[in-house]
Amino acid sequence: MRILALPLVLLLAPVVALAQPRKVEIARTEQPVGSWLLSCTADPMTDAQVCRMRHKAWAVVPQSARAGLAFEVVAKGDQLVPAITSRDISLSTAWGGLVTLTATAQIRFDSNPLIDLPCSLEGASVICVPSKADTQAAADQLVKARAVLIRLRPLGNLPLPLLDDPVALDFDRTAEALTRYRVAGPAVEPPTTSLTQDVKGTVDRLLRRVGLPGIEPPPPPVASPPPAK
C-alpha cells in the first residue's frame, strides 16, 4: 500500500504547488522635486493613487531598531500643511510607551513665530500636525519658507526618535513640489485626536473583543428631588 501511495503523492505535488496564491506587486514611484521627494503607490483593487511628500533629508535617520523622523506635507481638509511623522512603528514599540506619551513637535519657518504640532497615533504611525487654529498660518508659511527648524518635546516614555536640540532643513522648489503633490493625489490623514483618546479607544476595543466590558465613562450625577412643600 505504501509503495502505491508514493506515486500518488508525487502526482499531486505539482497540483498543490500550482494552487498557491500569486503575490500582487504594488506599483510604486518616486519623483524628486528640489529638496522634496514625492512617493506614490497605486491600489491594485481600485487603481487609486495615493502619494506622500517628504523632505529628502531625514530629521532623524531610521535605523533597524528605530523608526525615523521625517518632515512631511500632509492633506488636512483642503489644506496642505507641514507635519512631523514617525511611520511604521512596531506594535511592541507603540504599546511600550504610547500609553504614557504626550508629545508636541515644534517647527519654525525662517524668522516666523514657532508653531506647535500636537502628535496623535494614526494606525502604526505617529503624526504631528498643526492645530485647527494654526492650520492656515502653517500652510501659508510653508509655501514661502526657505528653511525650517524642528524640535520634538516629549513627556513620558517616548518610543520615538528624540530631538533635544533643533535641527534645520533647507527648502528648494517647494511651491512646485506642492503643486505636483496636489495633482498626484495626496493621502488624506484622518481627523487628529489626542494620543490618550487613541490608546483608550484601542484598549476599549480589545477588552470588548475578549468579552470584557469596555472603559465606560462615569454615569452622570442624579439630580436630587426637590424638597416637599
Residue-wise pLDDT tens digits, 125-159: 888 999 999 999 999 999 999 999 999 865 555 55
Q: How many CA atoms lie within 13 A of 209 on its CB side?
A: 6
Domain boundaries, given as residue ranges, for the chain: 25-201
Length, in residues, of the chain = 229
C-alpha cell at 154: 516629549
Radius of gyration of the chain, Cα coordinates, nearest whole angstrom: 25
pLDDT level of residue 193 (50, 70, 90 thresholds): very low
Q: For residue 195, what pLDDT is reported?
A: 46
Q: For residue 106, what pLDDT is reported?
A: 93
Q: How far is 110 from 146, CA to CA, in rounded Å?
A: 7
Query: Is pLDDT above 70 for 105?
Result: yes
Q: Is 5 helix (H, G, I), strand (E, B) or coil?
A: helix
Residues 6+ apart with CB under 8 A from 189: 74, 75, 76, 83, 122, 127, 129
pTM of structure? 0.70
Q: How far is 202 from 16, CA to CA, in rounded Å?
A: 40
pLDDT tens for residues 23-40? 877 778 899 999 999 999
Query: Is pLDDT above 90 for 187?
Result: no
Percent of the chain surpassing pLDDT 90: 37
Q: Where does 25-201 sit in CATH, by number?
A: 2.60.40.1880
CA distances from 142 to 115, 159, 165 (A): 11, 28, 21
Average pLDDT for the chain: 76
